[in-house]
Structure 1
Amino acid sequence: MKQVPNILTLANLFCGALAIIFILHAPEYIATFDGVDYTVVNPAPIYWASGMVVLAGIFDFFDGMVARLLKVQSPMGKELDSLADVVSFGVVPGMILFRLLRSAYMQTPDVFDVSYVNLAPALLVPCFAAYRLAKFNLDTRQSEHFIGVPTPAVGLLVASFPLIVLYNPFNLAHYFGNVWLLYAIIVVLCYLMVSSIPMISLKFKNFSVQDNWPRFLLIALTIGAILLLGFAAVPFVFVAYVLLSLVKPPKATTH
């Protein structure tokens, strides 16, 4: 039974690796518009990658819960969890942002002058995610809350972007064609992951409303946003999560 949490963690990693395959195999073809040839990427596999990140997040949620229930928490499990997370919630979001940047540049007049240097900032996301996860494993203050935004939150946020582009709730899709907005998102996410901001964790020590009202409010906002906003709920909940953590920061605890 002690290997059950590790199996769930490896399932998280499996989903992350499969998401990478989907992104890498998004087929490209040449399309001609007004006598000019353009390279067009079929985005369908990237949507599947988004689904894999969501599934990885489910496995990531349950591996820790199962470990606590079975009382089989171990240093190896903690390290394995971080190794899986850096792939599923670091490398995969970086690759999704890389693709989004590339698609955004395809809409610009100087598309043929764009180099990989323009797209490379997307790869800062996996770098900062790796740094954040390494710091998490050494920081004893994060047993009851997080310091900096956790990588799964960043991964799920970025995974929602292709789905927003596909379903276009509230006409949000066109914003992801703005390269400067994508650059800004990359900078903000990298900062939030390694910042010293105390962030709410959904680990309940009791169910007192007084002690847990930010958690209950976040859960209520999440449910309401999903019902009202569709895929646009993910960015909304992410922003609400950060703002709630700033308004009601969790108390620091040293172990």
Structure 2
Amino acid sequence: MKQLPNILTLSNLFCGALAVIYILHAPQYIAEFNGVEYTITNPEPVYWASAMVVLAALFDFTDGLAARWLKLQSPFGRELDSLADVISFGLVPGLMLFRLLRSAYMRMPDVFDVSYINLAPALLVPCFAAYRLAKFNLDTRQSENFIGIPTPAVGLLVASFPLIILYNPFNLAHWLQNIWVLYTIIALLCYLMVAEIPMLSLKFKSLQLKPNWARLLLVALSVAGIPVLKFATVPFVFICYVLLSIVSKPSTGNAVK
């Protein structure tokens, strides 16, 4: 039982590593249209990568619960958790955005190949995620709430993009296949991860309404959004999370996590 939190953390890392494999090994094939050959990527493995990110997030949530329940919180566990998170919620969304950018460029007229220089901004996401996680481990103000958007939120948001493109609710796929929209998303995510903005933690320390109204409202909006918005619920909840955090102004503590 003493190793249960670490096993859950390593399960998070395992899912993240598997997601990387799915993204990198999405098979490509050549298609010909009007005498012109096109390289097309089979998107199915990327959908599986999205599922792995969701599973990694579940393990990331439960490892903290297990550590608190068993009273096994330690500096080692905190460092191991960050190492897993930088893969599952840093590298994986960066690679997904890399793929999405390439697909967006390939949809443009008269484009046969894309320079990696144009796609490199996607890799800023894992860089900023690593910076945020290193800062989190040393920042004693983040014991009760976060400062800057947590990396699992970024991972889940980006993991929803391939599924939104597949099912296309409210024609959102059109926007996620626009290079300038993707560049804007990358810039915003990088900024929000390191910004000095207090963000809500979803930990309920009491059942009182007043200190938890923003958390309860976020849960209610999430549940209400699923049947209407489908996979678009994820970006909707992400936006609500940021706005509710700004409005509610959660306090930060001085105790070490």
TM-score for the superposition, normalised by structure 1: 0.98
Q: Which runs of 5+ in 2 are unaligned?
A: none
> Residues 120-171 of structure 1: CA distance to partner in whole angstroms, max 9, x if unpaired?
0000000000000000000011110000000000000000000001111112
Q: Which runs of 5+ in 1 are unaligned?
A: none
Q: What does residue 226 of structure 1 align with?
A: 226
The residue type equivalent to 1:60 in the other structure is D
RMSD: 0.8
Q: Distance in 1 between matches of 2:92 and 2:113?
A: 26
1:127 to 2:127 alignment: yes
> Residues 164-219 of structure 1: CA distance to partner in whole angstroms, max 9, x if unpaired?
01111112111111000000000000000000000000111211001110010011
Q: Distance in 2 between matches of 1:177 and 1:34?
A: 23
Query: Could you list the runs of 4 or more consecutive aligned residues of structure 1 that deviate by over 3 angstroms after TM superposition?
Result: none
Q: Distance in 2 between matches of 1:224 and 1:61?
A: 22
TM-score for the superposition, normalised by structure 2: 0.98
Q: Distance in 2 between matches of 1:190 and 1:110?
A: 31
SS at match of 1:29: strand
Q: Distance in 2 between matches of 1:222 and 1:134?
A: 30
Q: Distance in 1 between matches of 2:187 and 2:74?
A: 34
Task: State whether residues 23 and 96 of structure 2, in contact with CA within 8 Å, keep that contact through their aligned partners in structure 1.
Answer: yes
Q: What does residue 42 of structure 2 align with?
A: 42
Q: What does residue 12 of structure 1 align with?
A: 12
The residue type equivalent to 2:118 in the other structure is N
Q: Distance in 2 between matches of 1:111 and 1:207?
A: 56
Task: Trace 1:83-232 onto structure 2 (pairs within 5 A).
Answer: 83-112=83-112, 114-232=114-232
Displacement of 1:114 in angstroms is 2.4
Q: Distance in 2 between matches of 1:160 and 1:242?
A: 17
The residue type equivalent to 1:149 in the other structure is I
The residue type equivalent to 1:194 in the other structure is V
Aligned residues: 255
Displacement of 1:34 in angstroms is 1.8
The residue type equivalent to 1:101 in the other structure is L
> Residues 58-94 of structure 1: CA distance to partner in whole angstroms, max 9, x if unpaired?
0000000110001011110000000000000000000
